[in-house]
Every structure is written in structure tokens, then in C-alpha cells.
Amino acid sequence: MFCSHVRNAFTFSTVVVSIAVIAQTAAAQVTTPAATTPTTAATGGFAAGYTDIGPAIGLGNIGSAGASIGGRFEHAVKPLPDLANGTLGIQASFDYYSYSAAFFGYSWRYTYMPIGVTANYHFRLDDPKFDPFLGLGLGYDIVTCRLTGPAPLTGCGYSSGVYFIGRVGGRYFFNPRMAVYADAGAGAATLNVGLMFKMK
């Protein structure tokens, strides 16, 4: 079972990387006029061509675990001049958390690794330091469980599977290359906070 989860994780991670590469290639081919195409060079903040990555800590909806640890990667694919001049971003997320439970001499150890991909709509504001967004997507939660006790038991009550992601979030840029990050919603932890660092 564990090997199967590892294969699923590898497959899903490959898909995430492929989407990120395709998104970056697509962004490089966007050639709309400068008057309607905000870019990071022209505006700073999150705009077409921007890519960042960073660590995140999650709280809430993670069982009895104190917090989850993980990361976010996002690429600004293209401007959306027909949708209030916003920006489309493709984001990949990875998180990890674990916790234990005990009952009548039995103990369970659960480990969760949610991996997700979302399409994010970034609102364009007059101040490029603020970057609010809404995101929708799908994820795959890799769940493993170790059970110990005085007699054999089967099943842990949880299994790996696909989950829906709906998020609202944002960045605040301290400078053009670093931003504080937060997102909240359904999918993995309820609230995630972190730092994002510009790659290009």
C-alpha cells in the first residue's frame, strides 16, 4: 500500500511540474500590447511573467496535529484584460502533517501529504504591493497509517483520495523579490501563512 502511495505521489508531482513548465512556456509566448498587458517589469508585484516559491505553515482542519509544513509555487501565466485586468496564476502546493491516537491499548499513527494544483485569479489593485486572489483546483491527499496493538486489526478509517480546493488569499510585498503570503479555505489546512521569494 505504501509503495502505491509513493507511486501516486510521484505521478501527481510529475503532473504538477509539467503544468508549471507549460504555464511558464505559455507566459513566454504572450505578446499582447503593453497598454493592456501588465508585467512585473512595468508594475512590480504579481503580474504576467512573475514566478515565486516559498515555505508555508498550516493551521486548522489537520486532525490533532499542531501544524502542517509545506510550500507554495506559483507562476503568473497571463493577463486577463476582459476580467477587470486581473492576472491568471497557476499554483502548486505541497503540505505534510502527522498525528497519533490511542484507544484501548491500540495506537494509530497517521501521516498526510496533500498535493494540489489551483488556478488563481489575481485582482489588480492600484498599489502593486497588495496581491489578493481567489483560487479553485483539485488535490490528492496521500494518507498512510501505522496501527499497533495487542491483537490484529485492519483498517485505519482514512484513505488517500482526491479533494476539492477553494481558497482566498493574498501577498504583501516587502520588496519586489519577497512577500508575506496567506491563504484560507477548503483543501488541506484551513489557514496557511508563509514567505514567498521571487524566482524570475
Q: Is the pLDDT reported for residue 70 higher than 50?
A: yes
Secondary structure class of 29 (helix, strand, coil): coil
In single-letter form, the type of residue at position 104 comes to: F
Q: Are 135 and 121 in contact (CB under 8 A)?
A: yes
Range of the domain at 163: 2-198
42: Cβ contacts below 8 Å, ≥ 6 apart: 34
What Cα–Cα distance (Å) separates residue 66 from each residue in 8, 87, 98, 142? 26, 34, 9, 19
Around 168, how many Cα atoms within 13 Å sit in the side-chain half-sphere? 0
Instruction: Name the domain count of the chain.
Output: 1
pLDDT, tens only, 95-122: 999 998 877 777 888 999 999 999 999 9
Question: What's the longest Cα–Cα distance across the chain?
Answer: 71
Q: How many residues does the chain have?
A: 200
CA distance 191 to 59: 5
Q: Are 141 and 131 in contact (CB under 8 A)?
A: no
pLDDT, tens only, 40-65: 544 568 999 999 999 999 999 888 88
CATH (domain of 172): 2.40.160.20
pLDDT, tens only, 125-178: 999 999 999 999 999 999 998 877 666 666 677 789 999 999 999 999 999 999
| pLDDT (0 to 100) of residue 63 | 85
Question: When comparing pLDDT for 102 and 183, which is higher?
Answer: 183
Mean pLDDT of 177-192: 94
What element of type H or E holds 159?
A: none
